Amino acid sequence: MKFRPLHDRVVVRRLDAEEKTAGGIIIPDTAKEKPMEGEVIAVGPGARNEQGQIVALDVKAGDKILFGKWSGTEVRLDGEELLIMKESDIMGIIDGTPAKKK
């Protein structure tokens, strides 16, 4: 199935959180918090400004991002759990390291 977000929506895949603490303690799945890092899968064309012109988004597919803990709506597409959120829910782009898949 192909999915194309509309307006200023962004489709994000959560990235895995660390399974060990710095001291080497393994964290079980039930005690883990949901990660707040993700990889952008798809972006919409952009939002319209007051003049009716489309303003392109700052993020693009493949960007590694940081978003709020309760941001977005969880959906399941092709058996994969993804998030759909507005660009305004994204706090920033993480530079330097390529995103790793879940």
Check if the beta carbon of residue 72 is closer than 8 Å to that of residue 84. yes
- The sheet carrying 80-86 orders its strands as 73-77, 80-86, 9-14, 37-43, 64-67, 90-94
The pLDDT tens digits of the residues spanning 15-50 come to 875 555 556 666 665 545 566 889 999 999 988 888
pLDDT, one tens digit per residue, over 46-58 is 888 889 898 888 8
Instruction: Set out the domains of the chain in order of their start, with CATH numbers.
Output: 9-18+32-94 (2.30.33.40)
